[in-house]
Structure 1
Amino acid sequence: MPLLRGTRPLKQWCYVLFAAPELAICAAEAKVLGVPRRWWALATPAGELRGVTGATRRRLRIAPERVAICDEGETVTIEIEPRSPVEVASPEGRDYIWTRKRVGPARAEVAIAGECHTYEGYALVDESAGYHRRRTVWRWSAGIGDGTNGETLAWNLVAGIHDDERASERTVWIDGVAHETEPVQFGSDLRWVRSRSGCLLEFEPWAERREQLSLGFVRVDYRQPFGAFRGTLPGAIELVRGVGVMESHDARW
């Protein structure tokens, strides 16, 4: 994809979310006009939040199958088996945007303050690119959890981007099988997601990554709390417990 299409610069990102009962980890690389920006964060139920914004490529390497972080004596490695892709291309005025979401089993090895731990969990991989509008605003939730009958559930819910009525990226995976969901709306406080038919997913935050960026022509107001979920996913799918993120993103780019 060319770096410019008319007057719109190319935006690209790869974002990985690892979720387990004990913690949630994200790592990402985003590019505007090919210029990269990288970050990672780790949150726990106790409210601990670690991470770095503006990590160099030497300290953070990210790919859909593997994340490697070595930053200020903190080491995190995530091995992922991304499966069950959901891929969407959406019109954006006279331009277009694209995304692919995948989920799969994952293992995280975390070494912090001389202590090493291994966690078994699941990961969601978000690869996106396109010529988004100058101002793009969206809300998003993703996570992994357990159903009432022991199913492994994963979700990717969004409003404001790739949210067409019938050709959206909104997805619930049940034991790895993807199902598109009905439209959703988000609470202004990022404490809930409700589907059109009334299914309510509730969120209890642990800790929040927040950034207000002003860099050249790019302006970003970004909130991403990590935490626990319970309730009902779209499609009347009961979630006993889950771990993941909520997000509010207002970008001028």
Structure 2
Amino acid sequence: MDTLINRQGQVSFGVFPTSPKNINYLDFDLRNNMDKAINGFRKKMRFNQFQFIGLTGDDLILGVAIVNLKWVSNCFLYIYQPSTQTFTEYSWLKPFALNTQTDTQPNNGSWSFKSGHNHISITSLEHLRQLKISCGNELNVDVSINETQSPLDVCCRAGYNGWVYTQKNTALPFTGHIQWRGQDINTQDLLASVDWSCGYMRRETFWHWASLSHKTQNGDTVGFNLAAGVNETSYTENALWINSEMIKLDRAEFIFDRSNRMAPWQIKTSDGHIDLTFTPAGERKEKINAGLIASNFTQVFGRFNGSVKNLQGETISISNATGFCEDHFAKW
């Protein structure tokens, strides 16, 4: 499909066999709860976008995100090495999304964020997504992610008036280099995940989320994207990839302790494909309460243990696989 919004200003909902080429959000017939049209500046400023890329392996976890909320933009990144328990974190905010560029083409276009000497860019062209990070002499990343594997593309209603489109992909191979604190990181066993999302989201929303990209001891490549909360109006954004074959999943359940998010999480899907325990090793959290905008964000990284099932019902064991979970409340 070429665009997400049709000539009548209506959005297409569902799980798509191919990605839309352009999220033409300004063509959407946005209205308030009393059917009055919202146009111009207010319409533009209500549209939110974010993109997250994860690089994970047995001894490395790297997460980076660019978030554009129009009134403010945010970029965060962190890198963690389990064997040495070494951790580095960065986070920046820019009012009115200064020095922030985002794009409306999921499989093409450029995103970037700059703060001082720190620069992050994500450039995509068809089946290749390039991530570059330059943070002085501390961290330099230049990798190209292979996205020939079919992603999950889904668009759901968000509240009475809005919608959220998202594209997810996990367990993706990539090439390139990572240099951290003057040392070259071995990227041979690492895999990538990509989360590209946008929309007219609920004024107040939340989500629980989990992502895995892993190669098992038996040589199977396994990845999944699971969420509860934001995208569950008629459809879900849950999918499992086994050796590049995508299995669409039903609803996901996250059981964890909000008073101690570093305690183990239990994660399952109602169709029985996922049954895992997640044990956090570290966290990246941030609380912002600025009146019109608020965020209670915790992303934990650690290890999954348990099992997944393929379409034939065969069990694949997951042992000490690195990945992410997230608990997030947002008002925007």
TM-score, normalised by the number of residues in structure 2: 0.69
Aligned counterpart in structure 2 of residue 26 of structure 1, from 63, 71, 75: 63
Partner of 1:47: 85
1:222 aligned to 2:260? no
Report how far residue 192 of structure 1 moved.
2.1
After superposing on structure 2, the runs of 4+ consecutive aligned residues of structure 1 that deviate more than 6 Å are none
Which amino acid letter does the alignment assign opposite residue 201 of structure 1? Answer: L
Which amino acid letter does the alignment assign opposite residue 242 of structure 2? Answer: I
Aligned counterpart in structure 1 of residue 130 of structure 2, from 57, 62, 66: 66
- What CA RMSD, in Å, does the superposition of the two structures yield over aligned residues? 2.4
Mean CA deviation greater in 199-208 or 86-95: 199-208
1:13 aligned to 2:50? yes
8 Å CA contact 1:204, 1:229 repeated in 2: yes
CA distance in 2, matches of 1:20, 1:11: 30
CA distance in 2, matches of 1:116, 1:230: 29
Which amino acid letter does the alignment assign opposite residue 248 of structure 1? Answer: D
Report how far residue 36 of structure 1 moved.
2.6
Aligned counterpart in structure 1 of residue 213 of structure 2, from 119, 141, 144: 144
TM-score, normalised by the number of residues in structure 1: 0.89
Mean CA deviation greater in 192-201 or 75-84: 192-201
**Number of residue pairs aligned between Structure 1 and Structure 2:** 252
Report how far residue 237 of structure 1 moved.
4.2
Which amino acid letter does the alignment assign opposite residue 275 of structure 2? Answer: L
SS of the aligned residue for 2:236 comes to coil
Partner of 2:246: 178
Residues 73-95 of structure 1, C-alpha deviation per residue, up to 9 Å, x if partnerless? 22122321123211000011222
The gaps in structure 1 that reach 5 residues or longer are none
Provide closer, same or farther for how the CA distance between residues 88 and 34 of structure 1 changes in structure 2, counting only shifts above 3 A. farther
The gaps in structure 2 that reach 5 residues or longer are 1-24, 31-37, 94-112
CA distance in 2, matches of 1:169, 1:251: 18
Partner of 2:21: none
Report how far residue 212 of structure 1 moved.
0.8
Partner of 1:100: 167
Provide closer, same or farther for how the CA distance between residues 30 and 234 of structure 1 changes in structure 2, counting only shifts above 3 A. farther
Residues 195-243 of structure 1, C-alpha deviation per residue, up to 9 Å, x if partnerless? 2256421112221111112346211010011111110236654323421
8 Å CA contact 2:66, 2:74 repeated in 1: yes
CA distance in 2, matches of 1:157, 1:175: 18
Structure richer in strand, relative to its length = 1
Partner of 1:196: 270
Mean CA deviation greater in 202-211 or 67-76: 67-76
CA distance in 2, matches of 1:29, 1:205: 23
1:232 aligned to 2:307? yes
Report how far residue 109 of structure 1 moved.
2.2
CA distance in 1, matches of 2:246, 2:176: 24
8 Å CA contact 1:3, 1:10 repeated in 2: no
SS of the aligned residue for 1:2 comes to helix
If you compute each CA radius of gyration, which structure gives the higher value, 1 or 2?
A: 2
1:250 aligned to 2:321? no
CA distance in 2, matches of 1:108, 1:204: 29
Report how far residue 163 of structure 1 moved.
2.9
Partner of 2:180: 112
Residues 155-203 of structure 1, C-alpha deviation per residue, up to 9 Å, x if partnerless? 10110022356x3210000011111112121122352212225642111
- Give the structure, 1 or 2, with the largest relative contact order (CA under 8 Å, sep 6 or more): 1
Provide closer, same or farther for how the CA distance between residues 240 and 41 of structure 1 changes in structure 2, counting only shifts above 3 A. same
Partner of 2:282: 207
CA distance in 2, matches of 1:3, 1:24: 39
- Of all paired residues, the percent bearing the same amino acid is 23
